[in-house]
Structure 1
Amino acid sequence: MNKIRLIWSVLAALLSTQAVLAENDNPKRIIAIGSSITEIVYALGQQDRLVGRDRTSTYPTEVLELPDIGYRRSLSPEGVLSVEPDLILALEGSGPPDAIAVLQQAGVQYITIKDEFSLDGVIEKIQTVGAVLGVDDAAEDLATQTKRQLSQAQTAAHNAAASDPKRVLFILSTQDNRITVGGVDTQADSIIRLAGGVNAADSVSGYKPLTPEAMASAAPDVILMMDRQGNHDTEDHALFSLPSIKLTPAGRNKRLIRMQGAFLLGFGPRTASAISDLSAALQDVGDS
């Protein structure tokens, strides 16, 4: 059933873009909005066509040489159009809606790429981007290789965790001592499960603040956070000094894993490596 759904999703994406692409069969000035989209363009060998990237697109490092057109959820039409693109590939959820509406009316091809936090979702992204860029064969090769790597990484992770799966709490932020966590239906939930862990915040949906009482019930063995810099970062000692964290198994044992956000949550070509790295980190903290 998943395979049939994946095929139909890709076909639908192709049909929806066919009329637009007919106006320009070979777009040469492309903006990628969304880290996974940018990584796919590079993995397909089409990076020479990129003329801009959003702020979340930081891998590979060469992409940093491109003009930064802003954060993908708070785009300005002026910033995007300043690099004169003839095609915009935007990850689902880019915004705000009024900015997207302006871009769609500006005479530039604007194509939304579905963002699903699953193994099938990764493959669908690759196939859709490849079809839009006219490199179907390269996309099929990349999809086949990526699918094999994802399957191997998931199997190895679940085998490693089989006897002692860790309860993992993904903390998005601790601003003003409000602990916002990743519940079900999030990228965090998916990557935790794929790596053989148990989401300790499965009592909530989406990214939500967790009360001290709910934190006690969650009883995480390990805390998982994005490796951030500047004002968005929470230092280890500050995290473990929070009263609701102190009393959890993770707090008492000071078990914390930090990983780069786009790598951990991007669900692009590097997802197999993210699964393997998170699985290994979970095993390491369990042995400490």
Structure 2
Amino acid sequence: MLASTVLRSLVLAAVLLPACAAPGDGPAPATAEVTAPQRIVTLGSSVTEAVFALGAGDRVVGVDLSSLYPETAAALPRVGYYRQFSAEGVLGLRPDLVLASDASGPATAVEQLRSAGIRLELLPSGENLDAARGNITAIAAALGRPEAAATVLATLEADLAEADRMRARVTSRPRVLFVYARGPGRLLVAGRETAGAELVRLAAGENAGGALTGMKPWSAEAVVAAAPDVVVLPSRGLESMGGVPGLLALPGLAETPAGRDQRIVAIDDLKLLGFGPRIGQGVRELLVALHPELGEGAAP
């Protein structure tokens, strides 16, 4: 009787064993989870902002020089500007994840991180709303917090919906010259296929630099001929020029309608230019600045 029972057990084991997956024979069980990163370095202001917005700011151990928001990020160790970061500085922070704009460099530094076996996720630096949405979702997944994206995206979509309602009330279409300045004599105009051009479109303006493609310097004669009603530029750029008087001292600007009326709009470049989580809020603010008919009540 005992022998018969043992025999049956052996036969049953022989049948079942082939069905058991050996290591590497198939996909991991559905319940397997990837370990969430605990030491994160971020390169690029919008990438950093997204990580904090997604609730993982307490895991960030280092950032690049452009990451000034939120204030807690600005207080973290720096590894250089994201376009010229220090691989040694990043590696010294012992990260288990580096999240970076795909415009990060130099290429040798990026390769150093890969060669060191560091997990590196590059995010598209697209300058439009779809890129903003996609990066929030991708960063949430990389953090092991995919569910957190829904809350951040809901806030973004609510701001954009309000911007749509504001655009429906707009009755003017000012010609906007979007410029990027970094000190006297360093002025670039935003042409087509730029973040500046997209922001002007979202704020219901006409791009006065539309004859150009990309960010280009422009002659005084071209600036006068463009006849902008408003000049828009990042606030830090305006500061570097010495404020409105310094900006209007540049050749040609004072002779434009914007110069004569001193219609200069300084924007928060961290909020707008990176197309990060606060882009909807920034568009609303720019709409109010460009369209007086919206009234002060429309301000966020």
TM-score bracket, shorter-length normalisation: 0.7 to 0.9
Of residues 109, 116, 120, the one that matches 1:110 is 120
**1:101, 1:164 → 2: CA distance?**
49
Tell me how large the CA RMSD over aligned residues is.
2.3
1:282 aligns with 2:296: no
**1:285, 1:33 → 2: CA distance?**
39
- Tell me what 1:158 maps to: 167
- Tell me what 2:35 maps to: 25
- Tell me what 2:263 maps to: 255
Contact 1:119 1:150 in 2 (8 A): no
- Tell me what 2:26 maps to: none
- Tell me what 1:246 maps to: 254
- Gaps of at least 5 residues in structure 1 are 1-21
1:58 aligns with 2:68: yes
1:37 aligns with 2:47: yes
- Tell me what 2:94 maps to: 84
CA shift digits 1:76-107 (9 cap, x unpaired): 11122121111100012111112111122111
- Tell me what 1:202 maps to: 210
**1:229, 1:194 → 2: CA distance?**
21
CA shift digits 1:31-89 (9 cap, x unpaired): 11111111111111111111011111111111122111111111111122121111100
Contact 1:123 1:147 in 2 (8 A): no
- Tell me what 2:298 maps to: none
Of residues 227, 230, 244, the one that matches 1:219 is 227
Deviation at 1:125, TM superposition (A): 0.7
**1:59, 1:237 → 2: CA distance?**
28
SS at match of 1:140: helix
Deviation at 1:231, TM superposition (A): 8.2
**1:33, 1:218 → 2: CA distance?**
36
Contact 1:29 1:85 in 2 (8 A): yes
Q: Which has the larger radius of gyration?
A: 2
SS at match of 2:68: coil
Alignment map for 1:96-135 (pairs within 5 Å) = 96-135=106-145
Of residues 72, 97, 105, the one that matches 1:95 is 105
Q: Percent identity?
A: 37
Contact 1:119 1:147 in 2 (8 A): no
**1:230, 1:194 → 2: CA distance?**
22
Deviation at 1:141, TM superposition (A): 3.0
- Tell me what 1:47 maps to: 57
**1:242, 1:158 → 2: CA distance?**
32
SS at match of 1:63: helix
Contact 2:223 2:253 in 1 (8 A): yes
Contact 2:191 2:207 in 1 (8 A): yes
SS at match of 1:89: strand
Deviation at 1:123, TM superposition (A): 0.8
Q: For the structure 1 residues 204 and 54, does the alpha-carbon distance in structure 2 shift closer, same or farther, using more than 3 Å as the test?
A: same
- Tell me what 2:244 maps to: 236
**2:237, 2:261 → 1: CA distance?**
24
Q: How many residue pairs align between the two structures? A: 264
SS at match of 1:196: coil
**1:81, 1:166 → 2: CA distance?**
48
Contact 2:182 2:237 in 1 (8 A): no
Per the normalisation by structure 2, the TM-score is 0.82
Deviation at 1:228, TM superposition (A): 1.4
SS at match of 2:232: strand
